[in-house]
């Protein structure tokens, strides 16, 4: 087991829809904390594969 916090709690990207669904699970969500998106988090949702560009287009269309 690693002692590195980055390995135990990696920062990954989730789209708004997946994030909302996961947060409904409260303690079992798997999300420890929320941070603003940065490029090093990846260019797609870790759960559904929606790209950053698709997510931004959805947000602009709302």
The 3-state secondary structure of the chain reads CCCCHHHHCCCCCCCHHHHHHHHCCHHHCCCCCCCCCCHHHCCECCCCCCEHHHHHHHHHHC
Q: What is the pLDDT of residues 31-42, one digit of tens each?
A: 777 888 888 888
Which tens digit of pLDDT belongs to each residue from 2-54? 566 667 777 888 999 998 888 887 766 677 778 888 888 889 999 999 999 99
∠ CA 43-44-47, rounded to 5°: 150
The residue segments making up the domain with residue 56 are 5-61
| Total structural domains within the chain | 1
Among candidates 15, 44, 11, which has minimal Cα distance to 30?
Answer: 11
How many residues are given for the chain? 62
Which pLDDT belongs to residue 44?
A: 94
The reply to whether the predicted model has a pTM over 0.75 is no
């Amino acid at each position: 087991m690693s002692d590195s916090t980055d390995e135990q709690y990696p920062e990954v990207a989730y789209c708004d829809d997946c994030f909302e669904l996961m947060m409904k699970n409260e303690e079992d969500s798997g999300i420890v904390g929320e941070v603003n998106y940065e490029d090093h988090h990846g260019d797609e949702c870790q759960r559904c594969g929606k790209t950053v560009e698709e997510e931004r287009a959805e947000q602009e269309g709302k």
